[in-house]
Structure 1
Amino acid sequence: MPAQQLPHPPPGPPARPQPIPERAPESEPEASYDPATPADAPTDPYPDARIGVSALSLRYQVVAALAVAVVAVGALVHLGMVFLHVAPSNTVTKQHGKAIDEWIYPEFEQNWKLFAPNPLQQNIEVQVRADVRRSDGSTRTTGWYDLSAEDGAAIDGNLLPSHTEQNELRRAWDFLTATHDNTNRPIGLRGTLAETYLRRIVVLRLGRDDAAGKGGAVQRVQIRSRTTNVPPPEWSDEQVSTTPQYRLLPWWKVPADEAAGGVR
């Protein structure tokens, strides 16, 4: 018996199509804004511009390099001269001592030594006397004025002593002894300069002490040094003589423009 076919259900109403949701338009990315940088700021037209020496042309770079080399060589020469000046006596200073001194003096004078010797164990006093013309026309010779003692008295107890009181007379005497031989004759032009320098100092000191008196004038001066050894301490076995040693210079005529202490 043939199977009975079930009747198909009647077709329903057709389904309504669902609307497709519209996609929101994609927003354009906002441009980043830095308030510190103006939007209309011009860009660097020369991003690879060179500065300093590298910005110069080759010719000027060579000139700059030569200038630096000259300065470097000059600095090395100066340091070498100063080193030889403060170093102990050696073969180089014995052969080229004059050239070294001409380089150093007077602008680059050094008052120290690379290897300090024994400290000074002598007291050196600079003294002066003068032939003066009085206001009545007569002449006389003064006694010895101890200029070093005057400086010492001015420094003693002074918390702020002047550079003049500490060094002027001492350095003038050192300058003279370094430029004169054992017979007190000047060695070259620097020796004559040392005499003029020391003479002017002592004439000014005599004027300050009123050595010529009112209306008088200094005509000649004679300078000497008095050197005494510093006694050793009590615990030392060293034996030294404390007898003063004198170095007497010849009389120097005082020019008329210095005689009344007018040179400053």
Structure 2
Amino acid sequence: MDSYDGKADTGLGAGVLCGIGALSLPYRIVAAVMLAAIGILACAHLAMVFLHVAPSNTLSKRHAKAVNAWVYPEFEQNWKLFAPNPLQQNIAVQARAEIRTPAGDRSTTGWIDLTALDIEKIRGNPLPSHTTQNELRRAWDFYVNSHTEDNRPNGERGELSEQYIRRIVMLRLGSQHDGGTVERIQVRSVTRSVAAPAWSGEKTDTRPYYRVLPWWTVTAADLSDADRAARDDRTEASR
């Protein structure tokens, strides 16, 4: 008869431990400290994002500077956690340019619908780029949210949002356009409410509403590296 010593056969050798338990005491302490630090960092991150997306309250107002410093730009959120607000308007961003020809004549282009150009690239494309889908739209939201109705900056990020819009427009237009040099640009938005479905019986004002920004003189900071180098070359050649 086989003897039975009362010990269950676990399939593991005697004294074999797994995970942190297999480490020596100093290493277990280090691992525990690291896990605790990661847990604290994760909780802090969730708290910051929560305060950022939550409705305005005493705590979020008191620590707004710290929250914004943590969230922007890597963890920016553009939706509200407790009150998602579906879009009910179509907003198109358009630009026009003042051109100086080699002969010294000046002319102004018509309005160029930059949003429509992006939509053309998206329609029928199963994998449109993130830039085409979001760059212009998010840049315009950034500008509107950091400026008053009369286009005055309402915070520290106002100047940055203006520089961002100018750079995007110049990337789309290029420093050379219609056979001349772009010297000034102007941007506007065209907002139209989405019409209510016919069966709803609601009446919606679908007339376009415009927000026109002032003319901006193009500077070297608004140009891409390639356009800046090309402009410098033309300047040297004209001397």
The answer for the alignment partner of 2:24 in structure 1 is: 55
- Within 5 Å, give how 1:1-264 maps onto structure 2: 52=20, 54-57=23-26, 65-207=32-174, 212-214=177-179, 216-256=180-220, 258=222, 262=227
CA shift at 1:213, angstroms?
Answer: 2.6
Q: Closer, same or farther in 2 for the Cα pair 1:87/1:188, shift >3 Å?
A: closer
Q: Distance in 2 between matches of 1:77 and 1:190?
A: 25
Q: Closer, same or farther in 2 for the Cα pair 1:97/1:182, shift >3 Å?
A: farther
Q: 1:15-44 CA deviation, whole Å, 9 max, x = no partner?
A: xxxxxxxxxxxxxxxxxxxxxxxxxxxxxx
Q: Closer, same or farther in 2 for the Cα pair 1:84/1:256, shift >3 Å?
A: closer
Q: 1:57-79 CA deviation, whole Å, 9 max, x = no partner?
A: 4xx76565444333322211100
CA shift at 1:50, angstroms?
Answer: 11
Q: What fraction of aligned residue pairs are identical, expressed as a percent?
A: 55
Q: Distance in 2 between matches of 1:228 and 1:213?
A: 29
8 Å Cα contact 2:88-2:194 kept in structure 1: yes
Q: Which runs of no fewer than 5 residues in structure 2 stay unpaired?
A: 1-14, 229-239
Q: Closer, same or farther in 2 for the Cα pair 1:50/1:106, shift >3 Å?
A: closer
Q: TM-score normalised to the size of structure 2?
A: 0.76
User: Secondary structure at 1:107's aligned position in 2?
Assistant: coil
Q: TM-score normalised to the size of structure 1?
A: 0.70
Amino acid at match of 1:55: S
Q: Distance in 2 between matches of 1:100 and 1:51?
A: 36
Give the RMSD, CA atoms, in angstroms.
Answer: 2.9
The answer for the alignment partner of 1:19 in structure 2 is: none
Q: Which runs of no fewer than 5 residues in structure 1 stay unpaired?
A: 1-46
Q: In terms of Rg, which structure is larger?
A: 1
Q: Distance in 1 between matches of 2:137 and 2:18?
A: 58
Q: 1:118-176 CA deviation, whole Å, 9 max, x = no partner?
A: 41000000011111211222222211111111111222222222222211110111111
Q: Distance in 1 between matches of 2:75 and 2:147?
A: 21
The answer for the alignment partner of 2:12 in structure 1 is: none
Amino acid at match of 2:227: G
Aligned length: 213
Q: Distance in 2 between matches of 1:51 and 1:123?
A: 55
CA shift at 1:203, angstroms?
Answer: 0.8
